[in-house]
Copies of this chain bind each other. A is one copy, B any other.
C-alpha cells in the first residue's frame, strides 16, 4: 500500500514546529484523524505529540502494528491508556506551560480531560496553524489530486450511459457511486466543520435541484428522509428536466470537487442565461486571479458579475438559504482554506487548491453553473478537472 513519503512528513512537522515556536507553544497534541494523517501518514487512533523542538512522538492506541507500517516517523509507541499520557510526556517534556490543541474539532470532553491532565498549562487553539499549513499543497499532494480528477472525469463522461428518464434520482446516483468506487473512490468524505457531512455530493433533477438543506452550499437536495436531508431523493427523473451531478471524488484522502449539468430535453432560457453568467464568472476569475490576488476580492468580483447579469439574488442560492462564498479550498477535507468570501483577506499562493463553483439557483426553474477544482500556479490558475462545461444534452 502506498504510504506518505518521509520527506513530506518531515517537512510538515518542521514547518509546524516553526509555527509552534512563533506562538511560544511548548507542545501540541494532535488528536483528529485527518490532522494525524497529515502529520504522521497514518490515522490509526492515538495522539501525535509535537514539541516545538525535537522529535515528535506518535502514541497509538489502535492499531499500533498498522501505524508502524504506515507512518515513517521514528518514534511510535503503544499507548495502552489515555490517562498515562501525562506520565509519558513528563519524561520527555517537563514543565509544559503552553499546550496546543485542535480546539475547532476536539470534543469538549477531551478538552476538559486535557485540562485536568495538565492543570498548570495554558491551552491554546492550534487549529489555525494546522489549517494554514495544509493550505499549501506539495507536488506530491497535487499528483494525487490529478489521479482523483481522472476518476471524476471518467464518471462525468459516463453520465449519459446511466442517466435515463424514469429512473429515481437515487438509482441514478447509486450507479455513479458504484462507478467511482470501483475506480478507487475511498467512500468517506471528510468535513472539518461541526455537523457538516456529505455522502458523495449532490445528484438531483427538476424541482429537487432547488430543494434547500442545512449543507453550506448553493444546492441541497431532499435526500431519502429528513434524517439524512441532502442529495438525491426518491423522485423520478423526468423529460425536459435539468440534472446536476456534483459528486466529490475522495482518492487517497484528497477531495476533488467538480459539477456538470445535463439536460433531458429542452433547457429553459432563464437557465441558459444563468449558465452563461456562471461561466463568465469562472472565466473572468481564471483570467484575472493568481498568486497575490486577495480571496475576498475574487468573491466581490464574482458577485459584481452576477449583479451585471441581473442575477445577484440567485447567485450561490436564493433567499435565506443563499451561500456566501464562490469557492472553497479542498484537500484531505472538503472545507479547507482558501475560501472566496467576504472577510477572507489573504492572498492566493502557489500550491493552493480550491473548488470554484459559481452557481445560480432559480426557484421553480432550476440550477445552472459549473464547478472545477483549481490549482494556483506561478502562472495563474490551472483547472485540474477538465471536460466540457456546457449543459450536456442526454
Which residues of A are at the interface with B, using a C-beta cutoff of 8 A? Answer: 1-4, 31-33, 37, 41-45, 62-66, 70, 78, 101, 103-112, 125, 168, 170-171, 173-175, 177-178, 181-182, 184, 186-188, 190, 194-195, 197-200, 211-214, 216, 220, 222-229, 231, 233, 250, 252-254, 319-321, 332
Contact = CB atoms under 8 A, between A and B. Distances in A.
The 10 A-B residue pairs whose C-beta atoms are closest, nearest first, are A227-B253, A187-B199, A63-B212, A174-B181, A178-B178, A186-B228, A108-B111, A45-B214, A103-B108, A70-B226
Copies held by the complex: 2
A43 to B, nearest CB: 6
Nearest to A180: B174
Given A224-B184, A224-B186, A225-B252, A65 B195 contact: no
A332 B227 contact: yes
A123 to B, nearest CB: 9
Contacts of A177: 174, 177-178, 181
Contact of A229 (B32, B43, B254, B319): B43
A46 to B, nearest CB: 8
A211 B198 CA distance: 27
B62 A214 contact: yes
A229 B66 contact: yes
Contacts of A107: 103-108, 194
Given A108-B103, A181-B174, A182-B170, A195 B45 contact: yes
B178 A226 contact: no
Given A109-B103, A177-B177, A213-B44, A186 B62 contact: no
Nearest to A70: B226
Contact of A186 (B78, B178, B225, B319): B225
Contact of A78 (B2, B216, B320): B320
Contacts of A181: 170, 173-174, 177
Contacts of A44: 213-214, 229
B195 A32 contact: yes
Nearest to A179: B174
A277 to B, nearest CB: 24
Contact of A199 (B168, B188, B194): B188
A90 to B, nearest CB: 24
